Each structure stands twice: as structure tokens, then as C-alpha cells.
Structure 1
Amino acid sequence: MDTSVWRVLPDAGPLVAPAGRGPLDGETVAVKDLFAVAGQRVGAGNPEWLEQAREEPEHAWAVARLLEAGAAVRGIARTEEFAWSLTGANAHYGTPPNPAAPGRVSGGSTSGPATAVAAGEVSVGLGSDTWGSIRVPAAYQGLWGHRPTQGAVPGDGALPLARSFDTVGWLTRDAGLLVRVGDVVLPPDTATASGAPLVATDLLDQAEPDVRGAVARATRHLAAAPTAWAVPDAWIEALRAVQAAEAWAAHGAWVGPRLDRIGPAVRGRFTFAATVTPEQADAARAVVTRAGAEIRDRLGDDVLVLPSASSVAPVADPAAAEAVRRATVAVTSVAVLAGLPAVSVPVTTADGLPAGLSLVGPPGSDRALLRRAAELATA
């Protein structure tokens, strides 16, 4: 067992056997260490939190639904502390390897499940995406990933980071399985994703040249029209403030006296979170609300095409990974601000490195968007 990837992994057999028969018969799942698995503790990427955690009395909603559909839980996989980072590096347990790009970071915070899927140890990675934590590891490791419409998949039994933005998502190695998982956990669509594909040129320009080239080659199959689509810095700063305020509300009482036992990157985010006043959070929330409405109105029934991450996976150096964070959160923020579904489609750079292309659709169009992404894979 690679302890940078797994927290709990039985020597033989699954951790939890299927609870029924269905469309996921024979599939195996790595559960991010934020979700309740009955009889196990939630570790949240921090050893002291794990030590104090209780055994969970029942499965998280998403875990139970996958088990009922025939999947087995293979084990519990690592997350970055409190799911508050995008590199995959955990100061206590290390950085899971990237099988698709050795020597480069895994991406996070759904880091352990992503590596387990990419390595072929499981077929499904169950995780969460608050500001890119499904889409970034999908891009870095050449996987398919889905961040659903905000609230479409119940988060019952999952440890929160920022409740207004947390979503339950998943990763697979192929489009067909990504769609089948969606058929199990998603509600019926309430919107279509039948409009024209639009390439967000401003956001594409924020990506590194090799990623821009990979996305451009893939979009030739879409006959996508270019469109100017920028995310103002004020929107990103407002999103950062609201996320921080909600993270502090969820965990500040526990984290505050223990900041010296939190990894440096996550510690810095909690330190900032402690300074956000209620008045600042309210003002920032108003900006986020207006931004989300503007994005949804502008998108309509169309599908926005943009990079899943601004670069390929950086080399395994936390400083290098943090250096690309700003550009990456700009491209991942569109779906977050407006509560939109986003599918990360694997693409490849000219140098053979994995990258990601995201299709972002209207709220409630998850199933249609997943099938549209699968059609792109066929093309």
C-alpha cells in the first residue's frame, strides 16, 4: 500500500462489498477521505483530525448510492488537508505519484482517488470539487472528471470545506463509465446543453502554450466559435473571501488552536480565513451572486469550452505548483461562481503530456453535458 495514495486499503478484497446489483456491477471505487464510510473514520488529510474522529455510523449518500448500484469500495484514498489545495501535496502523508506524468504532481485535492484511478487500482474515484479539485487532477493525470451542478448530488456525509461551492464529483479512465456513474447519482436534467459550443478565448489565453495547443486541436472537432469571456480579478477575490469565510465557519474552532500543526500552504489559507470579517464576507457574497447570475444569463443553453487547468502538471515541487495556482483558479472559477456543471475531457499536448479540456454547461444539464463530452471522445 502506497500511504501517500491510500489511508485504508485491505490486503485482499474490497473494504465494502456491493449492496446491490446494477449498472456499476464489477466497478471499484476509491473514496476520498472526506466521505463517511460506515465503520471507518474521516481523516480529512490531517493525522490529528483522524485521531479524534469517530467511526461513522452510516455511509455518505454518494457512497451508499454507488454501493447500491453494484460498485465495491476498494478503500479510502488521501486528500489534501481539508480539501483546500490543488497541487495534491499533503504535508503529513506526501504527494501521490502521477502515473500519467511521472515526476509531476498529482493534482488535488482529490489526489489519492485520482492516482488510484490513473494507476488502474480502481475504476472510479469519488471526490469533491470546490474550486477545481476534480477537474485539476483529471487534467494532470489524463482522466475524465465531472463536477456536477451545484447541489445536484447530495453532499450528506461529506466533510465540508465551503458549503456554497462544494460539489460531489468523480473521476474515471473512460467516458462511458463517467456517464454510467452520472446515471446512478444524478437527478433528471432540468436544462439542455444543446446550444453552440463557445471557446472562451480570454480564459484559453491564460493557459500555457502547450495546453492552449492541445485544447485548440480538440476543439476542431466541435466547430466551436471563439468568444471573449473574461473572469475579472474582483470576482476571484470575492470567491476567495467567501470560500475562506465558509471554511473558517466550518473548521476554524478546531483549526485555530492548531495552526502550527497544519501544512504550510493550507495553514496560510486558514490564517487568511481568520481575518475575513462578516461584513467583508457579506460584501464578497453579493459580488459572487451577481457574477453567477451574469454568467448563467450569458451562457444560456450554450456550452463553454475552456482548459480544465492552466498548465500540465507542474514538476513535483510545491512551490512550482503554487506558482500556477492563480491562472488555474481563474479557469476553474466560471463553474464555481455560477454553480454550473463541468466535464473535464483528457487531451494531450504536443510533448505527450496529459492536459484537460472542460465543457461547462447550463445548470441542471449534467446528463446531456456528459453525453456531449462522450461524443467528443468518439470524434
Structure 2
Amino acid sequence: MASSSAPNLWVLFGLSLAGIMLMAKKFKKTIKPDFGAFIHKFELLPPPQPAPPKAPHPLTGLTFAVSDIFDINGYVTGFGCPDWERTHEAASQTSPVVSVLVDGGATCVGKTVVDEMSFGITGENRHYGTPTNPVADSRIPGGSCSGAAVAVAAKLVDFSLGVDTVGGVRQPAGHCGILGFRPSHGAVSHLGIIPVSTSFDTVGWFATDPSILRRVGQVLLQVPLAIQRNPRNIIIADDCFQLSKIPVDRLTQVVIRSTENLFGKQVLKHRNLGDYIALKVPSLKALDSNKSNGDVKFSSLRSLANIMQLLRRHEFSYNHFEWISSTKPALDPLISAQVHERLELSEKDVENFRSVKSELRSALNALLKDDGVLVIPTFSSPPPKVGSKELSSEDYLMSEFSLMGLASMSGCCQVTIPLGLYQNYPVSVSLIARHGGDLFLLDTLQTMHASLLKKADEAGKSKLSDDVVTKEASADIAKEKGNIAFKSKNWQKAIGFYTDAIKLNGNNAAYYNNRAAAYLELRSFIQAEADSTKAIDLDKKNVKAYLRRGTAREMLGYYKEAIEDFKYALVLEPTNKRAAETADRLTKYFP
């Protein structure tokens, strides 16, 4: 019996192993040779090189791709939507932007995937497939120009073209770990490009090499070359970095160390941008478009994001609603919900919103002048998983648009710069220069890029890197975020950050003590007493903890215990007037 059953066991084992291998093969993500970036492949060849002594074409030897929103002679511009492609004729001429690059010596090799009607921000397209993010294949590549970013990140081309309306170049550049440039609004021709939202649409480009990004810029911007200038002011928008879920030190410290190394500490400045905007953009305050938002800290940034979304939908409706209503295209539900219903703003609304845009441009131009750059995080969190529910959440969209809205609403130029990986996903920062400061920004990138990469690599290997960061350092970062929220009187948010700090390091009295202060502001006296007691257990000489516990106990009616706390605070700090006055008052009424 034993000998006859052994072969059967081996058969069963073999069948089980085969089943496991088949299931693994089934669930393994299939990555196409071109990473799913391309819709059409072709070649637009440059003209012959000029004879010496004339200089060769500036883009000689480079290849590029274009998003399927640019016209190419003989091809239907698909707009990311099969119904659009089916109902439109092939273009009769090539977009001038593409032509000038080909004439400049580059070879165009194809068209790439965009979100449906170039309206999304995820990079997902259920009709043509979602291009695979070469850096993190389970994560979104970002949109709307996902294919163009992926083609560069996968090294299929040297550079690519996209259109940035509300982040269509900047966000996928950040998600795919490459450079992405959004020039000043109006700096590059829009002819031969399907409009999405005219007052925001800007032709942008991707590359991995800053010198290529700059060479493409020189051809497209068509402005005279000037002497390269270094920035004299590098302003870090501290409040913008509070929107980021990535540790602040992992981003800002890289910029700070690079700046100090290249230009000296005197160049660095810090500013809360939301406060500056609230002060310098009176039209935004007058609109009071963010009454429902309880987060005072970021109300200006979020108000800009709200206005940007309304204007984008309004202008998109103006451009395409008749076709949408007559054709009724099959669109992704997230996009369909926004474009199938016409959004009409009153002339007064449009006028007010445009006043905000104009004032914001003036405010940023005044802040940055000719020699300043503003540093912000490119996005609020690492790229979410493809198809995740997070992509449709209001919190995710608002956080992304709050950062993207600065350049889109002001029309200023912005460049996305990758800074390596955080938890195996790409992270980046962005530099913004004044409207018209495009070459200056490209020059600044050229100067800082190598140093930024070096400092990012050092951060990735140092104790500040999230991969090896101590829990204590992470807890301190959370505490600092809590302190900023506390100063802004956002008590609940402060409690959240202090709680995060306590989870990371539960042996620090300051974290409990700070949370107790926030609980007192919310009149949550039981929680305040408990946190103060914990702080005292950890640090017997913490005067503030005795004062806060005494206050909580007084409000709870534990007067004798409160008196003891205030008297002990006086023992530790005899000159503390608050402790003395409160102890005397309570002793008088409750001897």
C-alpha cells in the first residue's frame, strides 16, 4: 500500500505546483515592450544637416513622442477617446510645435496615451490601457499625459511633449521620476492642439536630462539667449510642504543643503504661501469661496483649487459640450460626471475668477522678481495604486489641485525635479519662477540638478531617509507639523499630528504635553488631564504639564488636586505668576 500511494502523492504534488504556477502567471502583470505608452508609431524625420560652417540643428540625434492631443498630418488626433477618433477626420497638417522640433533636428516617433479627453489626472485609460509606470508598475503613472511621461521614463525616447492644464505634465513627471516643465502660459503656441481649457492649457515637455530639457526649451520658447543667472532668492513654501504625506526633511532638507552648498545660506528664505496669497490677492478673499472649509491654514490654496476646477469645467464645456451631448461618448465615470453636464458660469463669476488669476500672477511675480524661485512639493502623496478608491476621493483631488493650482492659476512656469525614492516610490519637488522667467528657471535647474541628486542620494542613505529613519526622528517631524497646526488654531489637526508622534515614540513627555494643550483648547478636559498625567510620569519636572493638568482638573471640579498641581509647579518654578495666582484663588474658595 505504501509503495503504491507514493507515486500518487507525487502526481498530486506536481498538479498542485502546476496550478500554483498557472495562477501566478495569470495574476502577474503583463508589461508591454513599450510599457503601453504608444497609440501610434511612425517617423517624422528632420531635414538634412546644413553644410559647414553653419552649426548643426540644435536637437540633432534626439527622438521624441507627442501626446495624442497634438495634430500630426494624416492621423486623427484621438484625444484619448475612441468615440472622438471615430467622429473626426485626420489632421491635414502637423502642429507647428511638433514641426519646429523636427526642423530643429529631432525625430518624432509616435503618439502616446492621454486620459480620456485629456481631462483626468490618473493616467488611466480603459480604452487604450493604462501605461505602466516604469518606476512603480502597480502605481498610476499620473495624467493626463501619462504615455508621454512613461515613454521618457522607460527610455524609449529622449523627450516628449504634453499639455499641462491642471498638472498634466508636472504630475506624471513626478510620479514617473523624471523632469517635467510647464512653461509660462502663452509662451508656446497652442495651434494644432485640441483645447481642454484655454486659459490654463500650456504645452510642456518631459526629459531625464536637464540639458535636453533646456535645449528643447530654447527651440520652443524662441527667446534670445541671455547670460545664465543664479537665483538670489530660494523661497521654501513651508505650508505647502505640510500638505505632503512625505516627511518634510526628505524633501526640504535636500533643497536646503543643495542651496547652501551652491549659493550660501543667505539665499534661503521661508514663507507661508497661503498667508501671502490671502494678503496679496484681495479678489480671492472677497469671493470667500471656501466658507465650508474649516482648515484656515490652507484655505487660500484650496480656494484657488476650487476656482481652477470650476473654470476648467466651464471652458471645457464651452469647447466640447455640443459634441459630448450629441455623441454621448463612453467615458470613465470619474470624467463623465464632470463633462456630461454643462457647467455655465455667469459673466460676473468668470470676471471675478479672472481677477483672482491676474492678482495671483502679480503677487507671485512681485515675490519672485527676476531672480527668485519658489520651492513646493510636486504632489501631496506617492502615486496611488492603479484603480484604487483613493483616486476618486475629494481629499486626494483637493490636495493635488491645491499644489497644481499655483502655476495653473498664475500662469507662472514650473519644473518638476525627481529626488529619488521614498518607500520605493518616486518623490520630487518643484521650482516655480515668475511668468516669463522660463529660461532663468531652466538655467537654475541646470545649475542645481547634479547637486540636488547628490543630496537626495545622501538623504536616501542617511538616517533622515524614511527607509532607515529612526522612529524618534519621524516622531519629531510629526510633532513639528502639530506645532504648526496648533499655531494656526487648527486644534483637531494638531491632535492628529501629536497622536502620530506618540505612536512613533510613546516615551516623549513633550508629545503628550502638547496634545494636552490642544485638548484644553477644545475643552476636552478628561483627555487633557490624562495626557498631562502621562507627561508628568515621563518627566517629573515638566512645569507646563502640571499647569495644564491643574487647569483640566479645575474645569472638571477636582479643586484640591488642581491646587496641588499649581503648588507643585511653584516649587519647580517659584516665579511662575500664573501658578501663584491660580493656587491663591483656588485656596481661597476651596481651603
Structure-2-length-normalised TM-score? 0.60
Q: Any conservation in 2 of the 1:61–1:156 contact (CA below 8 Å)?
A: yes
Q: Higher helix fraction: Structure 1 or Structure 2?
A: 2
Return the match for 1:332 from 404, 418, 421.
404
Give the deviation of 1:104 after TM superposition: 0.6
For 2:315 and 2:302, locate their aligned partners in 1 and report how far apart those are by CA, in whole Å: 20
User: Bigger CA drift: 69-78 or 222-231?
Assistant: 222-231
Q: Any conservation in 2 of the 1:30–1:77 contact (CA below 8 Å)?
A: yes
C-alpha distance 194-215 of structure 1, shift in aligned 2 (>3 A): closer
Instruction: Read off the aligned partner of 1:228 and give its amino acid letter.
Output: N
Equivalent in the alignment of 2:90: 55
Percent sequence identity over aligned pairs:
28
| 1:346 pairs with 2:418 | yes
Instruction: Read off the aligned partner of 1:31 and give its amino acid letter.
Output: V
For 2:447 and 2:209, locate their aligned partners in 1 and report how far apart those are by CA, in whole Å: 12
Give the deviation of 1:159 after TM superposition: 0.6
User: Bigger CA drift: 72-81 or 273-282?
Assistant: 273-282
Give the deviation of 1:132 after TM superposition: 0.8
Q: Any conservation in 2 of the 1:206–1:310 contact (CA below 8 Å)?
A: yes
User: Bigger CA drift: 246-255 or 192-201?
Assistant: 192-201
Equivalent in the alignment of 1:131: 166
Q: Which 5+ residue runs of structure 2 have no aligned equivalent? A: 1-32, 50-56, 261-267, 275-299, 452-591
C-alpha distance 222-64 of structure 1, shift in aligned 2 (>3 A): same
Instruction: Read off the aligned partner of 2:40 and give its amino acid letter.
Output: V
Helix, strand or coil at the partner of 2:273:
coil
For 2:431 and 2:270, locate their aligned partners in 1 and report how far apart those are by CA, in whole Å: 14
For 2:375 and 2:122, locate their aligned partners in 1 and report how far apart those are by CA, in whole Å: 23
Equivalent in the alignment of 2:325: 256
Task: State the Cα deviation string for residues 333-368 of structure 1 (Å, max 9, x = none).
Answer: 111111111111111244342122111001111111
> In the TM superposition, what are the counterparts of 1:54-93 in structure 2 within 5 Å?
54-93=89-128
C-alpha distance 337-30 of structure 1, shift in aligned 2 (>3 A): same
Equivalent in the alignment of 2:364: 295
For 1:83 and 1:20, locate their aligned partners in 2 and report how far apart those are by CA, in whole Å: 35
Q: Any conservation in 2 of the 1:79–1:90 contact (CA below 8 Å)?
A: yes
Equivalent in the alignment of 1:16: 44
> In the TM superposition, what are the counterparts of 1:20-35 in structure 2 within 5 Å?
20-21=48-49, 22-35=57-70
User: Bigger CA drift: 321-330 or 282-291?
Assistant: 282-291
Return the match for 1:312 from 353, 377, 382.
382
For 1:70 and 1:8, locate their aligned partners in 2 and report how far apart those are by CA, in whole Å: 21
For 1:272 and 1:202, locate their aligned partners in 2 and report how far apart those are by CA, in whole Å: 35
Give the deviation of 1:156 after TM superposition: 0.8
| 1:236 pairs with 2:236 | no
Helix, strand or coil at the partner of 2:259:
coil
For 1:228 and 1:369, locate their aligned partners in 2 and report how far apart those are by CA, in whole Å: 22
How many aligned positions are there? 375
Q: Any conservation in 2 of the 1:134–1:171 contact (CA below 8 Å)?
A: yes
C-alpha distance 2-350 of structure 1, shift in aligned 2 (>3 A): closer
User: Bigger CA drift: 319-328 or 54-63?
Assistant: 319-328
Q: Which 5+ residue runs of structure 1 have no aligned equivalent? A: none
> In the TM superposition, what are the counterparts of 1:198-277 in structure 2 within 5 Å?
198-210=235-247, 213-223=250-260, 224-230=268-274, 231-259=300-328, 261-271=330-340, 273-277=342-346
Instruction: Read off the aligned partner of 1:309 and give its amino acid letter.
Output: F
Give the deviation of 1:238 after TM superposition: 1.6
Give the deviation of 1:258 after TM superposition: 4.0
Give the deviation of 1:47 after TM superposition: 0.1
Return the match for 1:356 from 408, 428, 431.
428
For 1:71 and 1:233, locate their aligned partners in 2 and report how far apart those are by CA, in whole Å: 40
For 1:213 and 1:68, locate their aligned partners in 2 and report how far apart those are by CA, in whole Å: 42
> In the TM superposition, what are the counterparts of 1:147-158 in structure 2 within 5 Å?
147-158=182-193
| 1:197 pairs with 2:234 | yes
C-alpha distance 193-246 of structure 1, shift in aligned 2 (>3 A): farther
For 2:424 and 2:412, locate their aligned partners in 1 and report how far apart those are by CA, in whole Å: 30
User: Bigger CA drift: 169-178 or 212-221?
Assistant: 212-221
Instruction: Read off the aligned partner of 2:271 and give its amino acid letter.
Output: T
Instruction: Read off the aligned partner of 2:319 and give its amino acid letter.
Output: A
Helix, strand or coil at the partner of 1:220:
helix
Q: Which has the higher contact order (CA 8 A, sep 6+)?
A: 1
For 1:277 and 1:30, locate their aligned partners in 2 and report how far apart those are by CA, in whole Å: 39
User: Bigger CA drift: 223-232 or 325-334?
Assistant: 223-232
Structure-1-length-normalised TM-score? 0.92
For 1:313 and 1:219, locate their aligned partners in 2 and report how far apart those are by CA, in whole Å: 25
**Over alpha carbons, which structure has the higher Rg?**
2
| 1:366 pairs with 2:438 | yes
- CA RMSD, Structure 1 to Structure 2 (Å): 2.2
Instruction: Read off the aligned partner of 1:344 and give its amino acid letter.
Output: T
Q: Any conservation in 2 of the 1:5–1:113 contact (CA below 8 Å)?
A: yes
For 2:129 and 2:230, locate their aligned partners in 1 and report how far apart those are by CA, in whole Å: 40
Task: State the Cα deviation string for residues 114-148 of structure 1 (Å, max 9, x = none).
Answer: 11111111111111111111110110011011100
For 1:138 and 1:247, locate their aligned partners in 2 and report how far apart those are by CA, in whole Å: 24
> In the TM superposition, what are the counterparts of 1:164-179 in structure 2 within 5 Å?
164-179=199-214
User: Bigger CA drift: 188-197 or 97-106?
Assistant: 188-197
Give the deviation of 1:376 after TM superposition: 1.3
Q: Any conservation in 2 of the 1:200–1:226 contact (CA below 8 Å)?
A: yes
Give the deviation of 1:312 after TM superposition: 1.7
Give the deviation of 1:197 after TM superposition: 0.5
Instruction: Read off the aligned partner of 2:71 and give its amino acid letter.
Output: A
C-alpha distance 102-195 of structure 1, shift in aligned 2 (>3 A): same
Q: Any conservation in 2 of the 1:17–1:72 contact (CA below 8 Å)?
A: yes
Instruction: Read off the aligned partner of 2:420 and give its amino acid letter.
Output: T
Give the deviation of 1:153 after TM superposition: 0.8
Q: Any conservation in 2 of the 1:103–1:316 contact (CA below 8 Å)?
A: yes
